[in-house]
Amino acid sequence: MACRKKAKEGKKIKEITVKDFVENGLTTILRKYNLYALLKMVKPDLKPWELNRVPNEYWNNPKNVKEAVEWLVNEMVKKGKKIEDISAQDFKDAGLGGLIQYVELYELIRIVKPDLKPWQLNQVPPGYWHNPENVKEAVEWLVEKKAKEGKRIEEISVQDFIDAGLSTLFNKHKKAELLRMVKPDYEHDDDKTRDKP
């Protein structure tokens, strides 16, 4: 079979193309099976994204997207990476570049971790902090988190924002301004100076 012949020539299975089948006189079999189905006969654990291209319309099926994201997350976790640290580059390196091209990283990671907040990733989606509702939601989340730890709003520090992945908020806001989004009567000495993380 073309796959075994190419393997003997040192070609990896993901490098085998339709052209290899044609050059080996196997055009007829391509009428019955797509390339992925043929290669899967030789390597049963082969994932479509391990090829140079996934079959047409593959990413239109949410089940396929979920399977790919779950696979990538499992692979990254096995390597000691936290889910929050998975990047778009990780998707590209794993052969999932086509997927990340059409769906935001945050939305993909939420498939396996639905309670994830955008600011818990290394980078929020472009323009995310331009929406005041997103800023307010992040501050409310931090205040609730700190309250569960026994910390009052007056005790929340700039470092708490930084530790929560919210340091970017200080590019446009003072700490007091941010906390007033949750508690309008909040006052603090930092009203006079802009906080710097």
Looking at the predicted structure, is the pLDDT value of residue 172 above 80? Answer: yes
Whether the Cβ atoms of residue 169 and residue 178 lie closer than 8 Å to each other: yes
pTM to 2 decimal places? 0.71
pLDDT band at 114, cuts 50/70/90? very high
pLDDT of 13 reads: 73
pLDDT of 192 reads: 46
pLDDT of 10 reads: 54
52 domain residue, yes or no: no
- The total number of residues shown for the chain amounts to 197
Quote the tokens at residue 149: 């730890």
Q: Within this chain, do residues 132 and 186 fall inside the same structural domain, yes or no?
A: yes
pLDDT band at 191, cuts 50/70/90? very low
The sign of the CA dihedral 76, 77, 80, 81 is positive
pLDDT tens, residue by residue, 27-82: 888 888 888 888 888 888 888 888 877 877 888 899 999 999 999 999 999 999 99
Total domains, the chain: 3
pLDDT of 55 reads: 78
The whole-angstrom separation of Cα 88 and Cα 91 is 5
Q: Within this chain, do residues 12 and 32 fall inside the same structural domain, yes or no?
A: yes
Q: What's the DSSP call for residue 124?
A: P
Q: Within this chain, do residues 132 and 111 fall inside the same structural domain, yes or no?
A: no
pLDDT of 136 reads: 94
pLDDT band at 193, cuts 50/70/90? very low
Domain that holds residue 187: 128-191
3-state secondary structure (DSSP) of residue 77: helix
pLDDT tens, residue by residue, 117-169: 999 888 888 889 999 999 999 999 999 999 999 999 989 999 999 999 899 89
38 domain residue, yes or no: yes
The whole-angstrom separation of Cα 94 and Cα 108 is 14
pLDDT of 9 reads: 57
Q: Within this chain, do residues 142 and 178 fall inside the same structural domain, yes or no?
A: yes
153 domain residue, yes or no: yes
pLDDT tens, residue by residue, 18-29: 888 888 888 888
Of 67, 87, 116, the last residue of a domain is: 116
Q: Within this chain, do residues 70 and 27 fall inside the same structural domain, yes or no?
A: no
pLDDT of 97 reads: 87
Quote the tokens at residue 118: 């955008």
Looking at the predicted structure, is the pLDDT value of residue 7 above 60? Answer: no
